[in-house]
Amino acid sequence: MKNNTESSALTTCPYCGVGCGVQARVKDNRLIAVSGDTSHPANQGRLCVKGSALHETTGTQGRLLYPQIQGQRASWDSALDKVAETFARLIDQHGPDSVAFYLSGQILTEDYYVANKLMKGFIGSANVDTNSRLCMSSAVAGQKRAFGSDTVPACYDDLDQADLVILVGSNAAWAHPILYQRLVRAKQARPEMQVVVLDPRRTATCDLADRHLALKPGSDAYLFNGLLSYLAQNDALDDTYIAQHCEGFDVALAQAQQQCPDLITTAAHCGLEPADVQWLFEHFARTPRSLTFYSQGINQSSSGTDKANAIINCHLATGRVGKPGASPFSITGQPNAMGGREVGGLANQLAAHMEFDNPAHLQTVSDFWQAPRMAQTPGLKAVDLFQAIERGDVKAVWIIGTNPAVSLPDSAQVRRALEQCELVVVSDCIEQTDTTVLADVLLPATTWAEKNGTVTNSERRISRQRGFLQAPGEARHDWKIICDVASRLGFGDAFDYQHPADIFAEHARLSGYRNQGSRDFDISALAELSRSQYDALAPIQWPVTDTCPEGTARMFADGHFFTPSGRARLLPIDARMPANPCGDGDFVLNTGRSRDQWHTMTRTARSPRLLDHCDEPYIEISERDAQQLRIHSGDLVSLSALDARYIGRARVTPNQQTGSLFAPIHWNDRYASHGAVDALVAAVTDPVSGQPELKQSPVRMQGLRPRWQGMLLSLDAIETPASDYWSRVTLEQGERYALAGFSDRPDWSDWVQSWLPTSTDLIELLDSRANHYRAAAFRDGRLLWVFIASCDAELPPPAWLSTQLGRSLTTKERMQLLSGRPSEGAPDQGAIICSCFQVGEKRIRQAMKEGANSVESLGKALSCGTNCGSCIPELRALIEHV
C-alpha cells in the first residue's frame, strides 16, 4: 500500500505534567499537524503554545541516528557489548554499587520499569536515580511523611470546584498553561472564586490573581506555620477531623506558634504587609474549599520537604484533604514524573510504591521478580551520585533521557565527574547535547512520536503515548535497549519482553501483588489487558482495582491514610531560610522556566516560532538594582558564582523585588557561550529528600560594556564564532547569532573571512571611523551569510534579514541588505508575544494606539491570543502598562 494517505493518532504531549491528549495528523511518515484531543479529560481539546508546535520539532535534523563509541560510528552489537562487558567487569571487580543509572521523568513508565528492575533486582544496587530528584523529591518526601504514601489526593476538577486557590511557587501560566487556563475559565464563571499567588516575583500567573504576595525568597514555611497558628487562634480548626484522622497535631502547632505566634511576626519573617497576610489567613480560615497548588518554588529548596509539610499541616488541621475543591495539590513538572515514582525510579524507593525500610516490601518485590540479587539499601541520590562519580566510587553511569551537564547544580562538577568517569553511556535522541559530548558510548533512542507506552500526569491519570512515526536511522526504544543489555548481562529470561504492553502488565501485576489495600498504588485491574486493549487504553486515574475499575478521582476522602496507624501525620516544622545566605553585595538568583522553551532546548529550540518569544539568555533585574548598577534593558550583564559566569541580556522590570534576580534554565553550551545557569548554583540539598536548592543562590552581578556587538545570519550551520559572547537561534533556514566582544574589536574583514564559509561573491561596507562593519556573502547568487557589527550603534532588528537568507538578490536589494532594513514595508514587529500568529510587541502597541484597549479587541484586530491563549497574561500586561 502506498503510504501517502493521511492518518491520525491519539497520543499524549511529551512536555509538562498536565499530560494533555494530542491528536496527530500524519502523512508520509511526517507529522503534519497537531491539535488537542477533545476526548482527553486533562485538556478537553486544548493545547498550549509548546504543544501546538510539536509538529515543528520532529524533524530528523540533529537526531542521533546510530550508536557511537568514542565518537566513532559503531554497530548496535558492539555498542551493547561494550556497555554490558564494562558493567559486568566493574560489578565483578568492585561490586554492584560501582555502577549507576541516571534516568528521567520524561521516559515512559515501561522504560523506567525495566531500568529499575535491572538495577535493583538483578545487578543488586539501588544506584538508580532520576532528574525527578531535582523536581519532585521534596513533594514525594512530604507526602510520604504526612500520608504514609506518595499520594496526590487531588484532581484537576478541583480547580473548577475550589473557592480559594493558592498558587505557591508556581508560574502555571507558563509552566502548566492548560491548568492555568482552566482556572481562568473557572474564575470567569465564578468571579467570587479567589486566587492568590505566593511568589517572590510577579509572574504572568499573577494576571489571574486577586492578590499576589511577593514574599521574601525562601520564606514560605514561615507563612504556613503562621497560618497554622492563626487557624488555632481563630477557631478555624476541624477538631473532629484532627481527633479522628490525624496524629502529631499538638507538637506541630506548638512549633508553629513558637516561630510564628502572630500575624506581625509572620509578616516580618516573610517580608510581607501584615494586611496581606491577614487577608490570606482570613480567606483560608473561612473557605472550606481551599486548594493549595504548589510547585518548584516549594520543592527546589534546602528545606523543601518541610515546606511541603507546612502546607499539608494546614490542610490536615482543617480536614481539607481529598475533598472536592479542597486539598494540597503538588503539581508534577515532567510528563511522567508520576510514572517514574510508581515504578520506584528514585534511589530510595522500591517499585510500586514500596519502601526499603519495610522488610516485607523488600521480600515482596524480590519474590515477584524472582530477583537473584535484590538491592537491600537505598542508593545514591542525584547530587551524591555525581559526587561519587567524581571520587571514582561509581565507575560507570548510564544516563537516559536527561541532560545533567546542564540541569544539575554545580554543573562544572558534573562535567568534571563525567570527564573522568571510566564509562559514560548516554541514550538520547539528539546527537549534540552538553551531556552527549561527554559520553563514551552514545545510544540512539527513539523519542515522542515514535515511542509506545504510558505516562502518568499530575492528577494520577495514566495515558498512552502512541508511536506513529517510524524511527529514524538506527534509533531503538529505550525499554528495548535496556532489555538487550540485561540479556547480555545474563538476565535474558527476566527481560524477554516483546512489547511495552508486556511490561505494563507486569508492572500492573506487581502493584496488586500482596497488596490487599495496604498500598496506595494499585492498578491490578489493568494487569490482564490484551495488547489491543492496552493500545486502546483510555486515560484513567489510579488506583484502578476490582473495587474501582473506572479509576479514582480523589484520595483520602474517607480520612484513612497509609501510615501504620491509618492516621495522617502533622509534622513540627522548624522553618528556615535558604542554606546559602547572601553576603554583602550578593544578589539572590532565582531560576526557572520561560514560556516557550522546554528545559535544555533540545526539542523546542528546533522550532523558530518558539524561539521568537525569547531568543537569548536573559536576567530579570529590579528597577532599583538596575539604576544603582547603571544597567539598562538590553545591556549584557554578567552573573558570577562558584568561579563560573552566566551572561544574559538585562530585562529591567518592576516585577522583580530589589536584591533578587531571575534567569531561565534553558540555555546551555549548544545555544550560548555563557548561558548555562546551573554553573552558578551550589549543590546544597534538602536533608530529607536530597533535592537541591535551585531557587535561591547567591551571585554577583556586573553590567558589561562590550567593545562591539554584532549579528550574524547564516544559511548553513557554522562553527561556533570566536567571540567573547555569542548566542544562537535556529531559523526557518539556517541560524542567527548574537555576538559581542569585550576586548579590542577584531579586524572584522579578516575575522569573517578567516572562519566563515568562503565566498568569492562578497560585499563589504566599512565606515570611515571603522566603527561599523557590514558584509554579505553569496553562493550562486543566493545569500549565504550576512554579518553586521558595530562599536556604538544599535543593530537593526533581525526579522527581515532572516527572510533574505537563501534568496537571490538584485543589486538594489544587496545594498538594502547592508543597511539591514528593507527600503519600504515589512515593519519591525519587535519581540514576538503571540507565537501562534507571530504577532510582535510593536504591532500590538500600534494597535493599542489605534484604539484596541482589551485582550479581546487586540484579538479581533491582530488574532493574537485567540489560539492557545498562552500569551494572554503578556497582552494584558502591555495594556495595563501603557
Ligand X SMILES: Nc1nc2c(c(=O)[nH]1)N[C@H]1C(S)=C(S)[C@@H](COP(=O)(O)OP(=O)(O)OC[C@H]3O[C@@H](n4cnc5c(=O)[nH]c(N)nc54)[C@H](O)[C@@H]3O)O[C@H]1N2
Helix (H, G, I), strand (E, B) or coil at 197: strand
Identified binder of Mo ion from the candidate list 20, 90, 135, 172, rule CB under 5 A? 135
Applying CB under 6 A, does 48 fall inside the site for ligand SF4? yes
Q: 18 or 140: whose CB is closer to ligand SF4?
A: 18
Applying CB under 6 A, does 50 fall inside the site for ligand SF4? yes
Q: 365 or 610: whose CB is closer to ligand SF4?
A: 610
Q: 406 or 775: whose CB is closer to ligand X?
A: 406
The count of residues interacting with ligand X (CB under 6 A) is 61
Which partner in ligand X, Mo ion, ligand SF4, none is near 661 (CB below 5 to 8 A by kind)?
Answer: none
Whose grid coordinates read 531561565?
664
Applying CB under 6 A, does 220 fall inside the site for ligand X? yes
In the complex, least distance from residue 338 CB atom to ligand SF4, rounded to whole angstroms: 13
Q: 590 or 802: whose CB is closer to ligand X?
A: 590
In the complex, least distance from residue 639 CB atom to ligand X, rounded to whole angstroms: 12
Q: 110 or 522: whose CB is closer to ligand X?
A: 110
In the complex, least distance from residue 340 CB atom to ligand SF4, rounded to whole angstroms: 16
**Which segment (53-61, 134-142, 339-347, 848-856) binds Mo ion by CB under 5 A?**
134-142
CA 208 to each of CA 131, 181, 854: distance values in angstroms, whole numbers, following the listed order: 31, 9, 15
Q: 333 or 648: whose CB is closer to Mo ion?
A: 333
Contact 726, 737 (CB under 8 A): yes
**Which segment (5-13, 588-596, 639-647, 833-841) binds ligand X by CB under 6 A?**
588-596
Cα separation of 208 and 196, whole Å? Answer: 9
Applying CB under 6 A, does 68 fall inside the site for ligand X? no
**Which segment (373-381, 394-402, 609-617, 637-645) binds ligand X by CB under 6 A?**
394-402
The distance between the two most distant Cα atoms of the chain, rounded to a whole number of Å, is 86
Q: 334 or 364: whose CB is closer to ligand X?
A: 334
Whose grid coordinates read 530510595?
348
Identified binder of ligand SF4 from the candidate list 34, 37, 41, 43, rule CB under 6 A? 43
Q: 176 or 736: whose CB is closer to ligand SF4?
A: 176
Cα separation of 166 and 280, whole Å? Answer: 9
**Contacts of 494 by beta carbon, 8 Å cutoff, 6+ apart:** 117, 121, 122, 369, 370, 486
Q: 16 or 665: whose CB is closer to ligand SF4?
A: 16
Taking the CA atoms of residue 299, residue 303, residue 307 and residue 309 in that order, the dihedral angle to the nearest 10 degrees is 100
**Which segment (43-51, 417-425, 478-486, 633-641) binds ligand SF4 by CB under 6 A?**
43-51
| Residue spans of beta strands (DSSP E) within 386-486 | 396-400, 423-428, 441-444, 453-456, 461-465
**CB atoms < 10 A from the CB of 758, how many?**
11
Identified binder of ligand SF4 from the candidate list 19, 512, 648, 706, rule CB under 6 A? 19
In the complex, least distance from residue 823 CB atom to ligand X, rounded to whole angstroms: 38
Binding to ligand X in span 306-345, by CB under 6 A? 333-334
Which partner in ligand SF4, Mo ion, ligand X, none is near 47 (CB below 5 to 8 A by kind)?
Answer: ligand SF4
Applying CB under 6 A, does 51 fall inside the site for ligand SF4? yes
Give 75's DSSP letter: -
In the complex, least distance from residue 47 CB atom to ligand SF4, rounded to whole angstroms: 4
Applying CB under 6 A, does 869 fall inside the site for ligand SF4? no
572-590 burial, b at 16+ Cβ within 10 Å, e below that, comes to bbebbbbbbebeeebbbbb
Binding to ligand X in span 281-310, by CB under 6 A? 295-297, 300
Which partner in ligand SF4, Mo ion, ligand X, none is near 51 (CB below 5 to 8 A by kind)?
Answer: ligand SF4
Contact 368, 121 (CB under 8 A): no
Please name which of 434, 433, 478, 439 lies closest in space to residue 336, comparing C-alpha atoms.
478
CA 16 to each of CA 150, 174, 587: distance values in angstroms, whole numbers, following the listed order: 20, 10, 30
Cα separation of 117 and 506, whole Å? Answer: 11
C-alpha cell at 817: 541588505
Task: Report helix, strand and coil shares of the chain as percent, to nearest 5.
Answer: 35, 20, 45
Applying CB under 6 A, does 606 fall inside the site for ligand X? no
C-alpha cell at 243: 481527633
Cα separation of 844 and 842, whole Å? Answer: 5
In the complex, least distance from residue 177 CB atom to ligand SF4, rounded to whole angstroms: 5
**Which segment (169-177, 239-247, 553-561, 745-753) binds ligand X by CB under 6 A?**
169-177
C-alpha cell at 679: 554553573
Angle between helices 500-512 and 109-117 (to 10 degrees): 70
How far is C-alpha 533 from the geometric centre of its chain's CA atoms? Answer: 32
Applying CB under 6 A, does 170 fall inside the site for ligand X? yes
Which partner in ligand SF4, Mo ion, ligand X, none is near 497 (CB below 5 to 8 A by kind)?
Answer: none
Applying CB under 6 A, does 64 fall inside the site for ligand X? no
Binding to ligand SF4 in span 175-234, by CB under 6 A? 177-178
**Which segment (133-141, 251-259, 282-290, 499-507) binds Mo ion by CB under 5 A?**
133-141
**Which segment (143-151, 325-333, 404-412, 813-821) binds Mo ion by CB under 5 A?**
325-333
Which partner in ligand SF4, ligand X, Mo ion, none is near 43 (CB below 5 to 8 A by kind)?
Answer: ligand SF4
Applying CB under 6 A, does 51 fall inside the site for ligand X? no
Applying CB under 6 A, does 610 fall inside the site for ligand SF4? no
Task: Label residue 634 left, alpha or beta by phi (over 0 means left) and psi (-120 to 50 means alpha).
Answer: left
Query: Omega before 543 cis (within 30°)?
Result: yes
Cα separation of 644 and 8, whole Å? Answer: 48
The DSSP-derived string for 327-383 is: EEEEPP-STTHHHHHHTT-STTEEGGGEETT-HHHHHHHHHHHT-SS---S----HH
**CB atoms < 10 A from the CB of 733, how many?**
15
In the complex, least distance from residue 707 CB atom to ligand SF4, rounded to whole angstroms: 41
Applying CB under 6 A, does 592 fall inside the site for ligand X? yes
Taking the CA atoms of residue 361, residue 362, residue 366 and residue 369 in that order, the dihedral angle to the nearest 10 degrees is 50
Q: 107 or 310: whose CB is closer to ligand X?
A: 107
Contact 230, 285 (CB under 8 A): yes
In the complex, least distance from residue 456 CB atom to Mo ion, rounded to whole angstroms: 14
The DSSP-derived string for 827-839 is: ----SEEETTTTE
Triad 851, 594, 462: Cα angle to 5°: 110
Residues 401-440, mask of contacts with ligand X (x by CB under 6 A): xxxx-xx-------------------xxxx--x-------
The count of residues interacting with ligand SF4 (CB under 6 A) is 13
In the complex, least distance from residue 598 CB atom to ligand SF4, rounded to whole angstroms: 8
Q: 133 or 736: whose CB is closer to Mo ion?
A: 133
CA 709 to each of CA 238, 255, 745: distance values in angstroms, whole numbers, following the listed order: 63, 56, 9
Applying CB under 5 A, does 333 fall inside the site for Mo ion? yes
Q: Which residues pair with 73 in a beta bridge?
A: 68
Residues 666-705, mask of contacts with ligand X (x by CB under 6 A): -----------xx--x------------xx----------
Contact residues for ligand X (CB under 6 A)? 16, 50, 104, 106-107, 131, 134-135, 168-172, 174-175, 198-201, 203, 217-218, 220, 295-297, 300, 333-334, 400-404, 406-407, 427-430, 433, 445, 447, 451, 478, 590-593, 595, 597-600, 602, 665, 677-678, 681, 694-695
Which residues are near ligand SF4 by CB under 6 A? 13, 15-16, 18-20, 43, 47-48, 50-51, 177-178
Binding site for Mo ion (CB under 5 A): 135, 333
